[in-house]
Chain A
Amino acid sequence: MTTQFDNPPAATVRTYLIYVVLDTSESMRVPKPGAKQRSAPLDHFIDLFPRMIRELAANPVTNNLAAVSVLAFNDDAEILRPMTPLDRAVPIGKPRIGFGTDYAGVLKFLVAQHVKDVRAVKQDRSRDGYNVDVARPWIFFVTDGRPFANDADQAKAEWMQYREQLTDPPTEARIVAIGLPGADEDVLWWLATGNEHGLRRNAFISDQRRADPKELSVSVVDAIKSSISASARTGLLSIRTPVGMRRIDGPANG
């Protein structure tokens, strides 16, 4: 037996990408008839997510390891906050007005954008002596679940192909779909990912009165911490239901 000192494994730092995707179509912008001002679904989430990002930035784990991008889509997709580490303050832009809800368009956009973001984040985080590894992204998709483009409803097959490009290797994105009461629960369920059996998915209905950004951020932080390789029994593919939200059980028309 001889003493050999060769091929030690490289130290690796892992970084986490989080996308918040906001549906800014007309149906998300318009309050229900008889409802008070600023009660449209979009207003609820526009209030919720900046606070959620601040909560994430306050946590030392996610602050140092995660980067967040905010996207909006209606007829087209646009970036409101480029993928930026949480320890850097970047303003979130105002979304353009549009009418459609082009799921296929925004999912296709995400497929391409994720590749660019991974490259940029690796370059940004690169440090002498460490490998930089980018974990599977988390995508928080806020929508009322009514895909509509080019003056017609968008068939499931039309957007599912891009959803699968995101959720299949090599990206293996984890998608959390969130809507308000009245959203199409089946569409949210199909959009979301979940545990390995695919039944318990991260599709939620948010209660406008009770949804708490702190609670949402706790669920997100828990999910990210559990997906960090350090000392986790399993990667948390199915996040716990945040307070003020209800998990969607499954498609009624499966």
Chain B
Amino acid sequence: MADGPTLIAVVGLLALALFGWIALQRRRSHNVQRVPAGAEVSTGRAGKAPPSPSGSAGPARSPRPARTSTFQKWLPPKPLRFGRGGRPDTEPALVDPVVVHGSWCDSVFHATHDAGGTRFVIRAATVRGKAHAYDREPGQDAVGVGWSAARGALLLVAADGLGSLRDSGTVAQTAAELALDHGARIGPGDPLTEIFRRVSAGLYREIDRGGLEGATTLVLAELRPTRDGVLVTTCGVGDSEAWVMRPGKWKALHHERVRDSENITRHLPKHQPTEGHDLVVRRGTVVIVGSDGFAGALGGEGSPLSRELDKHWPDPPSAVDFLAQVGFQDDYFNDDRSAVAVWIQ
């Protein structure tokens, strides 16, 4: 038996060791990059924020809203796991056409579809933009995906309601639903412009019936498996865009970017669609349609968003990762974001 002073000494040493171990664990687990307000964080690299050009602290900034970075990389969220968790995640099959819209909440959808020896891995998400959130207004984007058995093709849809009109969110959602509906009905030989003709007619009816004040952009991409690969056909009205991507290489199939686009965004039901480039793509390609809040930040090899996605999109991300990627943070991009992306495997 140890005497009293020895026991106290042993207990004290054990307590010190325990506190030391806890402190070490806290230090290890708090690998937080601390950035002064106003500093910019470089993309894609963990580490120190770059110094200000002058080397000084820089001018004082107003306290609201916080400007903590220009483009923040995302960290993959980790789901809670129970049990042994040995089985890989199950990808559900695409059963019916799906429209994802996020008036008040961020939404994400994932599925797969197999056709003609090709597997399409689908991710679709909408995120309400900072500007609408600040103004207590609903998001106005909608994206969707559906399979047309008659055409043997997958149809991707993105619609972006015009912010200047009150009911544009409803009109965008209706346009996406109509596009998928008519996309499944039109004949195998009909051009995609036929879908736009029918969507415009349907929108005029809905706007008239509901007394709606709204308009929307709309872009479609059709993916049809062929012997040579997957034929991608695009068509659109307005500043929503269609892109194809292989890691490191981006190409816009439909866009309406102009030097001075202050005066007008083309929209439905008023304007006529323009057909984009047709392209045959092979496995390993990703086809994306999205509203300008997301697609406007894509720009080939030099864009920060494109560079990040090059790293994250060689394989389909999980649904929640995809949602986080569509909701990337950048002080210059405050609009609603939406995108549907399909990995061709």
Contacts and interface: CB of A to CB of B under 8 A. Distances in A.
A65 B278 CA distance: 36
A193 B336 CA distance: 31
B70 interface: yes
Chain B interface SS verdict (over half)? loop
Contacts of A229: 239, 261-262, 265, 292
A12 B291 CA distance: 15
B70 A127 contact: yes
Interface string B141-178: 00000000000000000001111110010000000000
A129 B299 contact: yes
Interface string B258-302: 010111110100000000001111100000000111001111111
Given A3-B279, A5-B246, A231-B160, A130 B299 contact: yes
Interface string A221-254: 0000111111111111000000000000000000
Contacts of B296: 11-12, 230
Nearest to B163: A231
A13 to B, nearest CB: 4
Contacts of B255: 9
Given A129-B303, A130-B332, A88 B64 contact: no
B331 A64 contact: yes
B72 to A, nearest CB: 14
A10 B299 contact: yes
A14 B154 CA distance: 35
Interface string B101-133: 000000000000000000000000000001100
A37 B305 CA distance: 56
A199 interface: no
Interface string A92-134: 0000000000000000000000000000000000011110010
Nearest to A237: B263
Contacts of A155: none
Nearest to A65: B332
A11 B305 CA distance: 9
Given A1-B279, A5-B251, A11-B298, A231 B62 contact: no
Contact of A8 (B163, B229, B300): B300
Interface stretch (A22-30, A53-61, A202-210): A53-61
B151 to A, nearest CB: 18
A226 B164 contact: yes
Interface in B288-340: 291-293, 296-307, 331-336
Given A230-B292, A231-B265, A61 B162 contact: no
Contacts of A130: 299, 302-304, 332
A: interface residue count bin: 35 or more
Nearest to B332: A13
A6 interface: yes
Contacts of A90: 59
A95 B254 CA distance: 51
Given A3-B282, A11-B297, A230-B293, A235 B263 contact: yes
Contacts of B200: none
Nearest to B241: A9
A4 interface: yes
B251 A89 contact: no
A74 B280 CA distance: 66
B163 A88 contact: no
B215 interface: yes
B102 to A, nearest CB: 15
A239 to B, nearest CB: 13
A56 to B, nearest CB: 10
Nearest to A58: B64
B70 A9 contact: no
A129 B332 CA distance: 13
A1 B134 CA distance: 46
Interface string B173-185: 0000000000000
Contacts of B88: none
Interface in B1-19: none
A212 interface: no
A171 interface: no
A231 B299 contact: no
A191 interface: no
B43 to A, nearest CB: 9
A128 B59 contact: no
Contact of B131 (A5, A6, A58, A225): A225
A136 interface: yes
Given A64-B67, A65-B332, A128-B304, A5 B249 contact: yes
Q: A-B pairs with the 5 shortest C-beta distances? A: A11-B299, A8-B300, A5-B249, A229-B261, A129-B302
Given A228-B262, A231-B292, 18 more contacts: A3-B279, A5-B244, A7-B251, A8-B251, A11-B297, A61-B134, A61-B334, A64-B332, A65-B334, A87-B38, A88-B61, A89-B60, A89-B61, A130-B304, A133-B259, A231-B162, A235-B262, A235-B263
12 contacts: A1-B278, A7-B251, A9-B299, A10-B299, A64-B334, A87-B38, A127-B70, A130-B332, A135-B262, A229-B262, A231-B164, A232-B163
Interface of B: 38, 59-62, 64-65, 67, 70, 130-131, 134, 140, 160-165, 168, 215, 217, 229, 231, 239, 243-244, 246, 249-252, 255, 257, 259, 261-265, 267, 278-282, 291-293, 296-307, 331-336
